[in-house]
């Protein structure tokens, strides 16, 4: 693991309890106002039977998928978050790192009609994960990626270009102990990563909160063609 990937992993172990609290208390405004509903409705539109949630955290999205009759499998690299997910149920959960998934994607649980990455592709090198997702998708299956909209993350001193940033979790409640590096990606960069993975982009949604000037998230839907 690179130093940055190691720091991302460490932050999710250190901040697991605070993260669980933030999710359960609805402390992240953009999630409550628009992005949770956006990803759940995308899942309802495209998923047929069996979904894989990559970087599932404490499992809320697997539980939402289970509620609408889907079989949900989630994996995450944080032991504390997987323990919480198992406690709350709703899916089959596994402690698995992205490196291990990328090395053998089928160990996550076989083949899926839908793979979801909800705010979980945080590092610079996302291609191994996207290729892993492509590998476990049935032909015609869909990948749903929701991520911070780059326009909502460009401050006055930032350039609109790929690069490492730092999340300090301010505004997400208390108890966050460790900052997290994350890799800012432009929309063009997300689209080229998807293309390089062999998947075909079918939709680009930009959920927006009505009182805000910029979209909260970027939600990409890509399809696995039958010939990869």
- Footprint of ligand SAM on 97-126 (CB under 6 A): 97-98, 118-120, 122
By beta-carbon proximity to ligand SAM, the closer residue of 39 and 134 is: 39
Looking at beta carbons only, is 97 or 186 nearer to ligand SAM?
97
Contacts of 24 (CB under 8 A, 6+ apart): 58
SS3 sequence, 25-64?
CCCCHHHHHHHHHHHHHHHHHHCCCEEEEECCCCCHHHHH
Q: Return the exposure string of 146-175: e unless at least 16 CB atoms fall within 10 Å of the residue's CB, then b.
A: bbbbbbbbeeeeeeeeeeeeebebeebbee
Q: For residue 23, give both structure tokens.
A: 């999710």
Q: Which residues contact 97 (CB under 8 A, 6 or more apart)?
A: 9, 77
Show the DSSP H helices in the chain as ranges: 3-14, 16-24, 29-30, 36-46, 60-67, 79-88, 98-103, 127-136, 187-196
Residues in 118-177 at the binding interface with ligand SAM, rule: CB under 6 A: 118-120, 122
Fill in the per-residue mask, 52 to 91: x = in contact with ligand SAM (CB under 6 A), - = not in contact.
---xxx--xx--------------xxx--x----------
Closest CB 96 distance from ligand SAM, rounded Å: 7
Bridge partners of residue 163, in order along the sequence: 184
Report the residue number, 55 or 215, with the smaller CB distance to ligand SAM: 55
Residue 35 binds to ligand SAM (criterion: CB under 6 A): no
In the complex with ligand SAM, the residue whose CB is nearer, 23 or 73, is 23
- The C-alpha atoms of residue 167 and residue 213 are separated, in whole angstroms, by 21
**Which residue is nearest to ligand SAM, using beta carbons?**
77
**Which range touches ligand SAM (CB under 6 A), out of 2-10, 107-115, 151-159, 188-196?**
2-10
| Closer to ligand SAM by Cβ: residue 141 or 181 | 181
CB 174 to ligand SAM: min, Å: 17
Between 56 and 223, CB nearer to ligand SAM? 56
4-23: contacts with ligand SAM (CB under 6 A): 5, 8-9, 12, 23
Binding residues (CB under 6 A) for ligand SAM: these are 5, 8-9, 12, 23, 55-57, 60-61, 76-78, 81, 97-98, 118-120, 122
């Amino acid at each position: 693991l690179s130093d940055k990937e190691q720091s991302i992993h460490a932050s999710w172990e250190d901040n697991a309890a605070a993260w669980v609290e933030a999710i359960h208390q609805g402390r992240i405004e953009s999630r409550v106002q628009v992005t949770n509903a956006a990803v759940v409705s995308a899942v309802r539109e495209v998923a047929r039977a069996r979904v894989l949630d990559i970087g599932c955290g404490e499992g809320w999205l697997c539980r939402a998928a289970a509620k609408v009759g889907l079989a949900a499998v989630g994996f995450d690299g944080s032991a504390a978050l997987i323990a919480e997910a198992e406690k709350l149920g709703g899916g089959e959960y596994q402690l698995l790192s992205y490196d291990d998934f990328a090395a053998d994607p089928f160990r996550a649980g076989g083949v899926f009609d839908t793979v979801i990455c909800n705010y979980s592709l945080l590092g610079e090198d996302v291609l191994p994960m996207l290729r892993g997702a492509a590998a476990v998708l049935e032909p015609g299956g869909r990948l749903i990626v929701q991520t911070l909209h780059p326009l909502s993350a460009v401050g006055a001193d930032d350039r609109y270009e790929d690069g490492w940033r730092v999340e300090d979790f301010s505004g997400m409640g208390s108890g966050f102990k460790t900052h997290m590096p994350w890799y800012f990606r432009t929309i063009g960069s997300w689209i080229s990563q998807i293309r390089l993975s062999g998947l075909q982009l079918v939709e680009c949604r930009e959920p927006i909160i009505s009182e805000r000037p910029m979209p909260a998230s970027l939600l990409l839907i890509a399809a696995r063609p039958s010939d990869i």
